[in-house]
Chains A and B, each alone.
Chain A
Amino acid sequence: MDFNKIKSILSTKTVGIAGCGGLGSNCAVALARVSIGKLIICDFDSIEPGNLNRQYFFYNQLGMMKATALKENIQNINPRVDVEAHIIKLDPEHIIKIFAGCDVIVEAFDRADMKKMILETVLGKMPDKPIVSGMGIAGWGNSNEIRMTQSGNLYICGDGHSEATEDNPPLAPRVGMAANMQANTVLEIILGKN
């Protein structure tokens, strides 16, 4: 399949991204570069200096809302992508409403309790919707442990065990690997296996 054909398929698709941190911002940028049609991005937070070690934002965007700044960055990369940015702390009701028209949902939250909330909501209330989750991305090295595992409509990218803590922080290289693996999984869901 040549890139024009790939673009013509992807440009008709919508991907929802829950969280615009390390996973969400990098995954969104990868999808924007390959000309996904529409991205629905959601985050309630603003950019702090500590985010710049892994999140796709710039020094001069400190203090901006992440969803607003990510929309700006995506449009600077590929203005043809339609970006719907929501400044919101997602709950089950809004997940169902905001992501109803998406072809795929990307779970890109930081906190484990939020991951549980969205996975239970999507798997329980939107069982036909594929969801690609990031799980276990902290630290460095162990590149080959980052993998994708599928169980029905649930796809998990990460090593499945490396929890982010004070002494094992999430860092650009490994978070970027998992985020790009999420984007790659979205392509596989939409385009089929290569």
Chain B
Amino acid sequence: MNITLNNNKEVIDADHLTVTELLKIKNFTFKLLIIKINGKVVSQPDYAHTSISEGDDVIVLHLISGG
């Protein structure tokens, strides 16, 4: 399916995709992330059962210490 990931067009080789699966496919192993799908934030407990669909705009943001 075609999605936008962090403002880049991506083709993912899957028909059905959850957030957890996307993180695995794209090798996002960082512990602390913020995920937004079409502008809506998805919290961590919902990663496994939140689906990503064709054309979705997905933001995966790494949270980095320091301030």
The yes or no verdict on A and B being binding partners is yes
Interface positions of A (Cβ within 8 A of B): 19, 21-24, 108-113, 115-116, 119-120, 123-124, 127, 134-138, 151-152, 154, 156, 158, 160-164, 170, 175
| Pick from A108, A116, A151, A152: contact of B67, CB under 8 Å | A108
- A163 lies within 8 A of B65 (CB): yes
Could you tell me how many residues of chain B have their Cβ less than 8 Å away from some Cβ of chain A? Answer: 17
| Pick from B41, B59, B64: contact of A136, CB under 8 Å | B64
B67 contacts which chain A residues (CB < 8 A)? 19, 21-24, 108-110, 134, 137, 164, 170, 175
| Pick from A113, A134, A151, A163: contact of B36, CB under 8 Å | A151
| Pick from A110, A119, A151, A160: contact of B65, CB under 8 Å | A110
16 more contacts with CB within 8 A, not counting A112-B64, A164-B67, are A21-B67, A24-B67, A108-B67, A110-B67, A112-B63, A115-B65, A116-B63, A119-B34, A123-B34, A123-B36, A124-B43, A127-B40, A135-B64, A151-B7, A158-B64, A161-B62
- A112 lies within 8 A of B65 (CB): yes
Bound form: Cα–Cα A160–B43 in Å: 20
Could you list 8 examples of A-B contacts with CB < 8 Å?
A22-B66, A109-B67, A112-B65, A127-B40, A135-B64, A156-B61, A160-B64, A162-B66
A120 contacts which chain B residues (CB < 8 A)? 34, 41, 43
A156 contacts which chain B residues (CB < 8 A)? 61
- Between A111, A116, A127, A161, the greatest number of chain B beta carbons within 10 A of the residue's beta carbon is seen for A116
Is B32 on the interface with A (CB-CB < 8 A)? yes
Closest A residue, CB atoms, query B34: A119
Bound form: Cα–Cα A18–B67 in Å: 11
- B41 lies within 8 A of A138 (CB): no
Shortest Cβ gap from A80 to chain B (Å): 27
Bound form: Cα–Cα A162–B63 in Å: 10
Bound form: Cα–Cα A108–B41 in Å: 20
- B65 lies within 8 A of A116 (CB): no
A110 contacts which chain B residues (CB < 8 A)? 65-67
Within 8 A of A (CB), among B23-67: 32-34, 36, 39-41, 43, 59, 61-67
A23 contacts which chain B residues (CB < 8 A)? 67
B43 contacts which chain A residues (CB < 8 A)? 120, 124
